[in-house]
Every structure is written in structure tokens, then in C-alpha cells.
Amino acid sequence: MNINIICIGKIKDKYINEGIAEFSKRMTSFANFNIIELKEYNKEDSMNISIDKESQDILKQLSKSNSYNILLDLNGKELSSEDMSEYIEDLKNKGTSSINFIIGGSNGVNKELKNSVDMKLKFSHFTFPHQLMRLILLEQIYRWFAISNNIKYHK
């Protein structure tokens, strides 16, 4: 299976990069894993223009593959770790070979992107910094695979 995290911007904090490196290494046991970092525009443009530019860049990435696309979204579906593990296993059993997890920019994504994905997933009612969310997502992806492979990581 191929797992991609498509996200906006680069990680600046060393401790987050170290966590991402650790879970990226662990993921190699389960899947081909890749992080695709796209340009952050909000420093140069108005908010609506930056949202559209970032969303279009993400849509270009999605058009390059025949993947199942999951957008992290505040209005998305909430699942437990066990349920999400089962959901991914079900996708694999149905022949899905690639999953893209999408983290939009700090200002969000446009309606076109929201309407283009296969699933919207909500992690929490809390607000997380985008850089930290990338690490949280990666840890959860590892957890989902650990659950489905009966590895004693998830308690």
C-alpha cells in the first residue's frame, strides 16, 4: 500500500521533524510512505487567494494518482482508532492501493477540493497547529496499521 500525506508548508520545529522521522521509519514495515509538501501562499496573498492557490496545488497532486483521498476537516467524520484501522483494512480489501491524507493550509481549503475528496475526517474538536497536526496524523496512521497487524502499540 502507498500512503501519502499531502500538506501545505514546511516543518520548522526540530522536535516535530524528529517525531515525523521516527514514525516515517516505523511506517516502512507497513507501506510505502511519502510526505508531499506544497507551497504555503498566505504570506504573499489575501486569504481567499491563498486558499484557492493552495487548494489548486493539492488538486494537481490528487490528479496524478488514482488514490483514495481523505481530507482532514473540522466538519468531517469522527472515528476511533480501531474504526479507522478497520476502514483502511476495508479499503485495502476492496483493492485500494494508495491513500492520500490531505492537510490543507492554515486558512483551510476551497469547496472544490472539499467536494473532490472521498472522505472528510475530523480528528478532534480541538484546534492544532498545522505542523503538529502532521505529526499527530502520522502517529495515528502508524497506530491504525499497528492495530490491523496486531502489533502491541495500541492500548
Can you read off the three cell numbers belonging to residue 100? 492520500
The set of residues, in sequence order, having a beta carbon less than 8 Å from that of 32 and lying 6+ positions away, is: 1, 2, 3
Instruction: Establish whether 105 is an annotated binding residue.
Output: no
d(CA 123, CA 101): 12
Instruction: Establish whether 104 is an annotated binding residue.
Output: yes
Crossing angle for the helix pair 130-148 and 14-27, to the nearest 10 degrees: 20
d(CA 125, CA 139): 18
- Residues annotated within the binding site for S-adenosyl-L-methionine are 72, 104
